[in-house]
Amino acid sequence: MASWRDTASEEAQSDLDGLLNTALPAAEQLLEKYGEFFPFGAAVGMNGETKLLASDPGRSDHPSRSDEVLSMLLEGVRKQRNELRAVAICTDVQTADSDAIRIELEHREGTAIAVLVPYKRKHFGHGFEYSVLQAGSASKRVWSND
């Protein structure tokens, strides 16, 4: 089976690897500290610099709906996409079997990948156990043809 790396440039591979290595530890830290997290992102600018991204619906210190935060975050990166090489969008999701960290990685060259890291609370509520990372292709949401 062909890998996304077979068709992606070295720059795209480096950008997406870097974003995953930024977003996943940040999500794990948020889970450890708060037990959950609202959607956030990371992006690689045209200059190669990586930065974390967040969105705030402006309603309170603690937004009530993750989907509102996600929509605003996606809207923001779509508006900035001409200034970006790659984007990661990180969400806390529920699957049929467990909770999971989901990271959607997208590069302006066309590569789009979704990474899922299932997790569960350790016994007695002290930290989390993370399962094996799963990856697959994803729909383009930033550099789509719309």
The amino acid at residue 135 is A
Query: For the chain, how far is it from start to end, CA to CA, in angstroms?
Result: 29
Mean pLDDT for the stretch of residues 61-79: 81
- Write down the pLDDT at residue 59: 53
At residue 106, does pLDDT exceed 90? yes
Residue 145, token pair as written in the block: 């043809």
* Cβ atoms < 10 Å from Cβ of 128: 15
- Write down the pLDDT at residue 58: 59
* Cβ atoms < 10 Å from Cβ of 63: 17
At residue 139, does pLDDT exceed 60? yes
At residue 57, does pLDDT exceed 60? no
Query: What residues form DSSP beta bridges with 45?
Result: 84
pTM: 0.90
Overall residue count recorded for the chain in this entry: 146
Mean pLDDT for the stretch of residues 19-23: 97
Quote the mean pLDDT of the chain. 89
- Write down the pLDDT at residue 144: 85
At residue 64, does pLDDT exceed 90? no
In whole angstroms, how far apart are CA 142 and each of 12, 16, 39, 81, 98? 15, 14, 15, 7, 27
pLDDT band at 54 (very low <50, low <70, confident <90, very high): confident
Residue 141, token pair as written in the block: 């949401």
In whole angstroms, how far apart are CA 27 and each of 32, 46, 66, 83, 116? 9, 24, 14, 25, 12
Radius of gyration of the chain from Cα atoms? 15
- Write down the pLDDT at residue 113: 96
Q: Which residue has the higher pLDDT, 20 or 124?
A: 20
Q: What percent of the chain has pLDDT over 70?
A: 91
- Write down the pLDDT at residue 146: 54
